[in-house]
Amino acid sequence: MISVIMVFGITLGLTIPLIAIVLDGQGHSSVAIGLHASTQFLGIMLAALITPRLLVAVGTSRLMVLSMVAMMLIFCAFPFFMGFVPWLLLRLLLGGVEGIIFISAETWISQVAPSARRGRVIGIYGTLLAGGIAAGPLLLELTGVEGVIPFLTGAVLTFVSLSILLFAPHVAPSIREATRRSPWTIAKTVPIAVASVMLFGFLDAAAFGLLPIYGLALNSSPIEAARLVTVLVLGGMAFQYPLGWLADHIDRQRLIAGCATVAAFAMLLTPLTSNLSIALYGLIFTTGGMISGFWTLPLIIFGENFKGSELASVNSTAAVFYGMGSIVGPSVLGLTMIDSPHGLMVAMAGPCMGLAFFAIVRYPKSPSSA
């Protein structure tokens, strides 16, 4: 399953910048391109609402196979249905299929990972997924951004993921309806973890979209500005396994609070560094690593506290909150850069401090793993 998701990550890393570049070449504004990207997150949110029921009715492995087949067809459709509106509909479907695949995969991994090593297993999963997403854009240098080839490459990569999955059709965990509690009721039992996932979406989407703008405001070249995103991604990759290892040995809620605190201080120190200095890159690297914990650690908590359909439900609810954060984050934080580019870092630090405070205040009243 980890291998499947690694290859799947390469597919995502290829197609997300590809669609943006093609739309820009067609003359669409940055606002229109941003709204187009939001449609993909809307698809993820909508799919999250039905995925738990689909897992019970269809089965984990079969549902992932069907979703990957649908994803291949969607990739093949992009070159033949050109236009802003047709691509808008295709992107909504693409987001929905992606949401089903991610929720299914995370439920699968969380449920079968040994309790004593769950943090390390999910840390490996997060590292390889982030690595795949980071490697995806590099393929555009080989495929280019014009014509059928880049989209067919996405379809071929999805087929590779599907082929890996077909080697193990009978090892997926069985998801049975075991509770009548609503997803929201289940999610409320682990409020810190759910809040952490929402903050991850809020900060991650904003950082990817706005860090290049931040770099340009510091009088850097476009290549140097884009490098800030690369450093952020590398930080996320580097910290996944260490955070997973720590989660196997210390309380996860305290670890989330620690990540939020370190992230806030790194962001607040960034405006004090020299433009594009080693210190700046180090702080962005640290920020990426700590933000990655807002996603990895909740997955560990979910796997520790829930099984079966409840695990699928809480993963789906988290996906909805992630989508909400991803849609709101870039727009809200973009406004903070109007007076000064450093307003971005200060504004990103605020919710991190809020999460740390929330985790500390809730700690005596919550289970140790919540």
196: enclosing H helix or E strand: helix 191-217
Which tokens sit at 191?
């409020």
Q: Domain residues for 295?
A: 183-365
Same domain, 148 and 205: no
Is the distance from CB of 159 to CB of 290 less than 8 angstroms?
no
Specify the DSSP class assigned to residue 15: H
CB 237 within 8 A of CB 131: yes
Tell me if 233 is assigned to some domain. yes
Domains in the chain, number: 2
| 330 lies in some domain | yes
Report the distance separating Cα 97 and Cα 212, nearest Å.
Answer: 29
Considering the domain architecture, whether residues 98 and 242 belong to the same structural domain is answered as no
Q: State whether 257 and 141 are in the same domain.
A: no
Question: Which of 111, 134, 166 represents a domain boundary (last residue)?
Answer: 166
Question: Among 166, 191, 219, where does a domain finish?
Answer: 166
Residue 177: inside a domain: no
Instruction: Please check whether residue 172 lies inside any domain of the structure.
Output: no
Q: How many CB atoms lie within 10 A of CB 141?
A: 8
Domain boundary among 166, 194, 210: 166
Q: What is the CATH number of the domain that holds 147?
A: 1.20.1250.20
Residues 64 and 152 occupy one common structural domain? yes
- Residue 303 is assigned to a structural domain of this protein: yes
Q: Are residues 56 and 192 in the same domain?
A: no
Cα separation of 348 and 43, whole Å? 26
Do residues 246 and 361 both lie within one domain?
A: yes
Same domain, 103 and 187: no
Whether 126 and 231 share a structural domain? no
User: Which amino acid makes up residue 243?
Assistant: L
Together in a domain, 147 and 204: no
> Based on the domain organization, do 285 and 138 belong to the same domain?
no
Q: Are residues 13 and 107 in the same domain?
A: yes
pLDDT tens for each residue of the chain, 370 residues long = 788 888 878 887 787 778 777 877 788 776 677 677 778 878 888 888 888 888 888 888 889 899 999 999 999 999 888 888 898 899 899 989 988 988 888 888 888 888 888 889 998 988 888 888 778 777 777 888 788 888 898 888 889 888 888 876 667 666 666 556 777 787 788 889 999 999 998 898 788 777 877 887 887 776 677 778 888 888 988 999 999 999 999 888 899 999 999 999 999 999 888 676 788 899 999 999 999 999 999 999 988 888 877 888 888 888 888 888 887 887 788 788 888 888 889 999 999 999 999 988 876 554 444 5
